[in-house]
Amino acid sequence: MNFDDTPQEAEFRATARAWINANAPKQYEEELRKSSLGRTVLKNADILEVAKAWQKKKADAGWACLHWPKEYGGRGSSPIERVIWQQEEGPFGQLSRMFIIGHGMCGPTMMAFAREEHKRTYLPPLASGEKVWCQLFSEPAGGSDVAGLRTRAEKDGDDWVINGQKIWTSGAHYSDYGILLTRTDPTVPKHKGLTMFFLDMKSPGVEVRPIKQASGASDFNEVYFTDVRIPDHQRLGEVGDGWNVSLTTLMNERSAIGAAVSTGFPELFEYCSSLMLDDGPAIEDRAVRSKLANWAVKASGLKYTSMRAISALSKGERPGPENSIGKLVAGSMIQDVATYALDLQGANGVVSGEDAELAGRFQAMLLRAPGTRVEGGTDEIMRNIIAERVLGLPGDIRVDKDVPFNKIPTKGRA
Amino acid sequence: MNFDFSDDQKQLRDQARKFLAEKCSPKAVRVVLDGKAPYDKELWKGLAEMGFLGVAIPEEFGGAGAGHLELCVIAEEMGRANAPVPFSSTVYLAAEALLIAGSDAQKKKWLPAIASGEAIGTLALFEGKGNPSPKNVKLTAANGVLNGVKKPVADGAIADFAVVAARTGSSGRDSDISLFLVDLKAGGVEVKSLTNLDPTRGQAEITFKDCKAEPLGAAGEGWSILTQVLDRAAVLCAFEQVGGSDRALEMGRDYALDRIAFGRQIGSFQAVKHMLADMYVSATLARSNSYYGAWALSTNAAELPEAAAAARISATQAFQHCAKNNIQVHGGMGFTWEFDCHMYYRRANAMALGLGSLSYWEDQLIDRMRKKNAA
Ligand SMILES: Cc1cc2nc3c(=O)[nH]c(=O)nc-3n(C[C@H](O)[C@H](O)[C@H](O)COP(=O)(O)OP(=O)(O)OC[C@H]3O[C@@H](n4cnc5c(N)ncnc54)[C@H](O)[C@@H]3O)c2cc1C
């Protein structure tokens, strides 16, 4: 049990720190430091442009996607070096949220299933942020039950022809490529008839329509496919094996999202430390302290859980379903934290945006939080994963398990 | 950075687990639970022979001189087995107080006796309701004698000696408190056993009447020593609580796989699955916080006070959460004396109070975080 850097780790930290100090976009530091879930916007700049510029700079100097192999645009770093980098990058790390789907999910899936020449072509510009990727899994009829999706892929010569609709696709409106899960055989049970591809989002027949979220922002989209052609060499994994391929993506998704998700606690603690209530400083109020302490130990518990996972990773163990707990705990926590922060503001908590307390930081958090509990697998699905894969409890009863896909009912009520 | 126990420490864990599975079966625990013995003497002797009682006591004082990480590993197993022995009062409280503040002579007298299982020790701090606080210490020390009543004193009825918190001043400051060492077998004390939530670990009321006592540590330093003792004990107890949480979760999981209702294993009902998943989550958060506490304890890091409070809160919550839901998973069976569920429920709720209540530690944590942020 050791929290101190080894000499090599200390040297790595010093090099990283020096480079960040000399190169980071310092003019945005203050704004990035204040950002929290629901509010990574920059006042006088396009956040995507700023994020891309920072990512490119990192890539040119060998600091992008640290844990990826060098030939794919990474640095071949150890998991611990990656953590050290994140610690040193601090608020500038907020900018890489723009690439989380590409770096966290699409990249690892490409690495595991794409042809070598494709890896060398597509991965470096993904690492450097020049090309942005999205994940086209969810559909109106296939969310938690991803395998219920209906987008068809039909073989036509050396190509596949895609027709159907995806939904909730984050970043599709600024993405260059996407990984796409399709149905290639509707006559077999649902998990057996799926196939995965990657495609150019600018292909003819792809149409992206932004969706306005509950928060008011538009980060995700509907994507329509009309006779979109994908060459067979862009298939990831075998025909009919798309379910297995997607499990690789989803496993990576959980650790990527789980590790990055914020809890809202540091913001709340800071707020309570300065806030004056009617009877004095909030931090001296018995009830406030009790709430804070409860959230403090959840936040620290998550932090040290991920450190334990990293220690396991650096000993060569694979990331397991345990990683589901990060998102599960942080998701409802941030919702509760935001609700509580507004409660402390009393009637004025109702005001959001620039006129609100702290320029609406907690209001924005409150309005974004419900999405965290849904994206990347809902709370219920996370609990199922823990119960089934960690604790070994029986799977849910699945009435459609052995039924050919085209015989499964499509509506709950007639 | 490496945030895990070493292979040697894991081996020690396996060894302790095996030993306790053999010597501390639920049946053995029940001998104490049913009031047929005040504690498991055989087990206590065995723990001494295994070197577990003195694992963190330096070799020069008869211990194994291994360290606190090793003690954490053993603590977890003690909690998992629900061991009915005065381990926490003797090893975490009395021995740690001696290690921090004892004179050479005091250490030579008591530490080897602890390591060999000959002496049981405890800390006499509380005086009725209320949390650890200098103002709650009314028992007085003057001219080398103590007068007053301590209650509850963990394992007080079987202890050979006690570290006693006493009032030696009236300035209203922490420096009013000093610590004393009392040989409970030497007279001047009256001990009464108290019924308590967890009969597998006794509680007593001790009345001191002109009882001879020797100072432990410098006069006026009592509160500062106590704070250190409580912080260390908080981490060690957290490991017991983590062990207990894990065991309660495991019992619930096993029962959910065995019990059939409506033609299915009850573990296939999502409400039951999700309850168990939530138990896993709280046990995992507690384990991670406790690992951080273990690191801080073993390196005597400046982070110890904050880490100890976080481990304490997290592990207390987890053990209570797992123990109560383990009963729920077991249904009516869980509420019977025959099933072991209530032993963990009792232990979880007793442990939640022993070092000061949850709300006390919440207060401590926030104070400590504030101090750190201000610094
Ligand atoms: C902000 C955001 C970003 C997203 N980004 C992407 C993206 O980039 N790419 C992408 O492919 N998808 C994305 N998604 C989609 C996301 O993965 C799905 O919304 C999610 O998996 C849930 O599916 P659903 O919305 O169809 O809800 P449903 O599956 O219809 O769920 C409705 C309710 O039923 C519950 N439920 C369903 N099945 C079970 C079960 N077996 N047991 C218990 N309860 C159950 C759910 O927990 C939920 O409460 C995003 C979603 C959000 C909110």
Instruction: Output the average pLDDT for chain A.
Output: 93
Q: Say whether both B37 and B22 belong to one domain.
A: yes
Q: Which residues of B touch A78 (CB under 8 A)?
A: none
For domain A7-128, the CATH class is mainly alpha
Average confidence (pLDDT) over A105-110: 95
Whether residue B115 lies inside any domain: the answer is: no
- Do B143 and B83 belong to one domain? no
Question: Is the minimum distance from the CB of A371 to ligand 1 under 6 angstroms?
Answer: yes
Question: Does A98 contact B at CB distance below 8 Å?
Answer: no
pLDDT band at B290 (very low <50, low <70, confident <90, very high): very high
Same domain, B308 and B242: yes
A340: alpha, beta or left, given left = phi > 0 and alpha = psi -120 to 50?
alpha
Ligand 1 atom at minimum distance from A145 CA: 29
CATH number of B74's domain = 1.10.540.10
**Mean of pLDDT values over A300-329:** 85
Quick check: A113 and A237 in contact, CB under 8 A?
yes
For B188, counting Cβ atoms within 10 Å of its Cβ (0-12 exposed, 13-18 middle, 19+ buried), the class is middle
Ligand 1 centre and the CA of A165: distance in Å?
Answer: 16
Range of B78's domain? 7-87
**Alpha-helical segments (H) within A194-285:** 242-260, 265-274
Q: Does the CB atom of residue A151 touch ligand 1 within 6 A?
A: no
B329 with B352, same domain? yes
Position A83 scores a pLDDT of: 86
Strands (E), A22-151: 133-136
- What residue of B is the nearest CA neighbor of A394? B268
Q: What letter represents residue B69's amino acid? A: L
Query: Based on the structure, what is the number of domains in chain B?
Result: 3
Find out whether the beta carbon of A133 lies less than 6 Å from any atom of ligand 1: no
**Banded model confidence at residue B341, pLDDT cuts 50, 70, 90:** very high
Task: Please confirm, yes or no, whether A253 is among the known catalytic residues.
Answer: yes
Q: Give me the architecture of the A133-240 domain, per CATH.
A: Beta Barrel (2.40)
B-facing residues of A in 99-128 (CB < 8 A) are none
B292 pLDDT higher than 80: yes
Give me B234's structure tokens.
């908080």
Domain ranges for chain A, please list them. Answer: 7-128, 133-240, 261-377
The response to whether residue A220 sits with its C-beta less than 6 Å from ligand 1 reads yes
Which residue has tokens 């799926």? A194
For the entire predicted model, the pTM comes to 0.95
Of B184, B169, B304, nearest to B223 (Cα)? B169
Q: Which of A31, A88, A89, A253 is catalytic?
A: A253
Please tell me the distance in Å from B204's CA to the nearest CA on chain A: 30
Q: State the Cα–Cα distance between residues B146 and B153, nearest whole angstrom.
A: 16
Mean pLDDT computed over A286-291: 96
Lowest mean pLDDT among B102-111, B310-319, B365-374: B365-374
- pLDDT value of residue B49: 98
Same-domain pairing of B213 and B245: no
| B310/A300 CB distance under 8 A | yes
pLDDT tens per residue, range B356-374: 999 999 999 999 999 988 8
Angstroms from B58 CA to nearest CA on chain A: 20
A308 and B280: CB-CB below 8 Å? no
Q: What does pLDDT average to over chain B? A: 97
CA distance B226 to B165: 8
Enumerate residues 176 to 205 of chain A having a beta carbon within 8 A of any beta carbon in chain B. Answer: none
* Residue-level pLDDT at A253: 64
Q: Give B248 Cα–ligand 1 centroid separation in angstroms.
A: 32
Q: Is the pLDDT of residue A258 over 80?
A: no
Q: Would you say residue A35 has pLDDT above 80?
A: no
pLDDT in tens, B121-155: 999 999 999 999 999 999 999 999 999 999 999 99
Q: What is the DSSP letter of B43?
A: H
Closest CA to A289 of B362, B167, B170, B3: B362
Q: Report which protein residue has its CA nearest ligand 1's atom 48.
A: A378
Cα angle vertex B194, ends B191, B200, to 5°?
110
| Cross-chain Cβ contact B268/A395 below 8 Å | yes
Residue A364 CA to residue A159 CA, distance in Å, equals 45
Buried b (16+ CB within 10 A) or exposed e, A369-390: bebbbebbbbbbbbbbbbbbeb
**Backbone angles phi and psi of A397, in degrees to 5:** -75, 125
pLDDT of A44 above 90: no
pLDDT of B348 over the 90 cut: yes
Cα distances (angstroms) measured from residue B347 to each of A70, B7, B319, B342, B353? 53, 30, 9, 8, 10
Q: Does A332 touch chain B (CB under 8 A)?
A: no
* End position of a domain, from candidates B219, B234, B267: B219
Q: Is B109 left (phi over 0), alpha (psi -120 to 50) or beta?
A: alpha
Within a domain: B126: yes
Are B284 and A395 a contacting pair at CB < 8 A? Answer: no
Together in a domain, B370 and B227: yes
The structure tokens listed for A326 are 């990060």
Measured between CB atoms, which of A269, A302, A311 is closest to B4? Answer: A311
Predicted pLDDT of residue A414: 63
Q: Residues B358, B310: one domain?
A: yes
With 0-12 CB in 10 A as exposed, 13-18 as middle and 19+ as buried, what is B129?
Answer: exposed
> Which of B261-268's residues contact partners 24+ apart within 8 Å by CB, and which partners?
B264/A394, B264/A397, B265/A394, B266/B329, B267/A387, B267/A393, B267/A394, B268/A393, B268/A394, B268/A395, B268/A396, B268/A397
Q: Does pLDDT of A158 surpass 60?
A: yes
Of A5, A294, A322, the CB nearest to B1: A5
- Ligand 1, atom 1, residue with closest C-alpha: A371
Last residue of a domain, one of B151, B186, B219: B219
Q: How confident is the model at residue B116 (pLDDT cuts 50, 70, 90)?
A: very high
Query: Is A246 a pocket residue for ligand 1 (Cβ < 6 Å)?
Result: no
In this structure, the answer to whether residues B307 and B205 fall within a common structural domain is no
Same domain, B192 and B76: no
Task: Name which CATH class applies to A261-377.
Answer: mainly alpha
